[in-house]
């Protein structure tokens, strides 16, 4: 305790120098805490966005159908025969003009089948999604997003309304919830989107045929996504003469995993850079402590002459280095907190929140302590080793 007070006093006696010395540690800690927290914040947000894209699903792309195209009938057959393919939905999209009276605009039109909303995690605010009869009857029905409802019709309570899509009238059977808090919503904000039966899209669009090139398999209760993915892979392999290049499956989870890997590598990398700057700060501390020891040689001599032991002197200077480091660390963490608050408020419109990562705070505290000890040891030892008479006669 006494040593702690002494250390504080001697740091306080040389405020300017102490502040400059601490700057190295402050910047190092700030780099560490801010970078890692930023990466974590961004990662959380992107991961959320990725998992919002669909609650775990397998995307299947068919590149070469070898004369055996996959049709809607195939999909429903597979679904019936394989319990692990409980959710399976065809997918195609086109750009069409949507119109109602004098309101019109370009809309993205998705042709799909009933399971699609669950696979993609779409939330229906009003009405219902496309049903099996809709697909069988090539019905002129559509599920529209909020932007489309507002732009064309003017309000969202519009079930039963008819809108003109690509020249035919479609009855609105469902309206999606407005998405606000995901990154996808950010990029697609205000765009008109509608979903119609796959069969209806074939009729509407010239480029889409009954040959399905993309479909999704959703996670089915009681099965892992991997099991579903294996099932569909096996089916397609036997269909396409064991040609692995004829199709491609990719699951959302793999994407998330890869993302996780990338960001953890990023964290380590940035953390490493920050750690290096902390070590540089530590060398600054060592440098200043060396100067301090030389400057205070006489004081050390006096202290020894009146009974300070080697250990006492060692502890005193070590304490000074550690206190210096820990003060720098505390200030660094405090400033980081401020910066993260600032960053959060700057990007508040995107809903990104940069929280201080408790792990990195603990890490930086431990790291600073170790730096104080490691880089303080050699100057403190230099002080402790002095012979009292030499120190007393030091002409400084």
Sites of contact with another protein (CB under 8 A): 2, 10, 13, 298-299, 301-312, 387-389, 392
Measured from the CB of residue 392, what is the shortest distance to another protein in angstroms?
Answer: 6
Rounded to the nearest whole angstrom, what is the least distance from the CB of residue 396 to another protein in the complex? 12
In this complex, which beta carbon is closest to another protein, that of residue 86 or of residue 388? 388
CA angle in degrees (0–180, nearest 5) for 370-376-382: 150
For residue 131, give every residue at least 6 positions away whose Cβ sits within 8 Å of its Cβ, in sequence order, or none. 114
Residue with tokens 């606000």: 180
| Nearer Cβ to another protein (1/207) | 1
Q: Work out how close the CB of 327 gets to another protein at its nearest, in angstroms, rounded to a whole number.
A: 19
Cβ partners under 8 Å of residue 371, min gap 6: 25, 278, 279, 281, 282, 285, 325
DSSP string, 234-275: HHHHHHTTT-TTSEEEEEHHHHHHHHHHHHHHHHHHHHHHHH
DSSP 114: T
The residue (of 239 and 298) whose beta carbon lies closer to another protein is 298
| Structural contact between residues 166 and 96, judged by C-beta atoms closer than 8 angstroms | yes
Rank residues 167 and 311 by Cβ distance to another protein and give the closer one: 311
Tell me whether strands 168-176 and 141-144 are parallel, antiparallel or unpaired.
parallel
Looking at the Cβ atoms of 79 and 303, the one nearer to another protein is: 303
How far apart are CB 33 and another protein at their closest, in Å? 35
Q: Show the CA angle centred on residue 29, arms to residues 273 and 11, nearest 5°.
A: 130
CA 321 to chain centre: 37
- Shortest spacing between CB 16 and another protein, in angstroms: 16
CB of 293 to another protein, least distance (A): 15
Pick between residue 270 and residue 302 the one whose CB is nearest to another protein.
Answer: 302
Which residue has 């600054």 as its token pair? Answer: 284
Cα distance between the two ends of the chain: 29
Contact yes or no for 130/112 (Cβ under 8 A):
yes
C-beta of 9: minimal distance to another protein in Å? Answer: 8
Comparing CB distances to another protein, the nearer of 277 and 381 is 381
Nearest distance from residue 308's CB to another protein, in Å? Answer: 5
The residue among 8 and 259 lying less far from another protein, judged by its C-beta, is 8
Q: How far is CA 127 from CA 55, 137, 161, 338, in A?
A: 22, 19, 12, 46
The pairing of strands 214-218 and 103-112 is: unpaired
Which CB, 189 or 389, lies closer to another protein?
389
Pick 276 or 389: Cβ nearer another protein: 389
What is the rounded CA–CA span in Å between residue 266 and residue 271? Answer: 8
Minimum gap (Å) between residue 373 Cβ and another protein: 22
Tokens of 85: 């393919």
Cβ 11 to another protein shortest distance, Å: 12
- 249 strand-pairing partners: 60
- What sign has the CA pseudo-torsion 5, 10, 12, 18? negative
User: What are the structure tokens assigned to 285, written together?
Assistant: 């501390």
Q: How far apart are CA 372 and CA 284, in angstroms?
A: 11
DSSP 70: B
Give the three-state DSSP class for 111. Answer: strand
């Amino acid at each position: 305790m006494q040593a702690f007070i002494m250390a504080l006093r001697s740091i306080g006696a040389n405020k300017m120098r102490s502040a400059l010395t601490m700057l190295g540690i402050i910047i190092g800690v700030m780099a560490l805490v801010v970078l890692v927290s930023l990466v974590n914040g961004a990662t959380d947000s992107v991961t959320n966005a990725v998992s919002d894209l669909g609650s775990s699903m397998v995307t299947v792309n068919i590149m070469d159908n070898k004369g055996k195209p996959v049709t809607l009938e195939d999909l429903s057959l597979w679904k019936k025969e394989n319990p692990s393919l409980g959710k399976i939905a065809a997918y195609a999209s086109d750009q069409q003009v949507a119109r109602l009276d004098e309101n019109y605009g370009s809309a993205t039109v998705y042709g799909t089948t009933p399971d699609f909303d669950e696979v993609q995690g779409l939330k229906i605010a009003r009405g219902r999604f496309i049903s099996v009869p809709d697909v069988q009857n090539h019905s002129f029905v559509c599920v529209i997003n909020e932007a489309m409802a507002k732009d064309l019709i003017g309000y969202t309570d519009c079930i039963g309304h008819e809108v003109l899509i690509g020249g035919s009238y479609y009855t609105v059977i469902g309206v999606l919830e407005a998405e606000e808090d995901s990154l996808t919503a950010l990029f697609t904000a205000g765009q008109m989107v509608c979903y119609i039966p796959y069969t209806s899209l074939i009729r509407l669009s010239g480029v889409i045929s009954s040959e399905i090139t993309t479909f999704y398999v959703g996670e089915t209760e009681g099965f892992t996504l991997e099991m579903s993915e294996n099932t569909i892979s096996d089916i397609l392999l036997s269909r396409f003469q064991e040609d692995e290049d004829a199709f491609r499956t990719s699951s959302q989870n793999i994407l998330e995993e890869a993302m996780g890997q990338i960001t953890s590598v990023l964290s380590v990398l940035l953390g490493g850079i920050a750690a290096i700057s902390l070590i540089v700060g530590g060398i600054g501390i060592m440098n200043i402590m060396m100067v301090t020891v030389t400057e205070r040689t006489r004081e050390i001599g006096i202290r020894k002459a009146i009974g300070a032991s080697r250990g006492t002197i060692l502890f005193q200077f070590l304490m000074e280095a550690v206190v210096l480091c820990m003060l720098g660390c505390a200030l660094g963490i405090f400033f980081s907190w401020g910066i993260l608050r600032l960053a959060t408020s700057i990007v508040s419109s995107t809903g990104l929140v940069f929280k201080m990562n408790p792990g990195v705070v603990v890490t930086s505290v431990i790291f600073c302590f170790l730096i104080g000890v490691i880089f303080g040891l050699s100057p403190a030892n230099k002080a402790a080793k002095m012979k009292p008479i030499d120190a007393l006669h030091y002409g400084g």
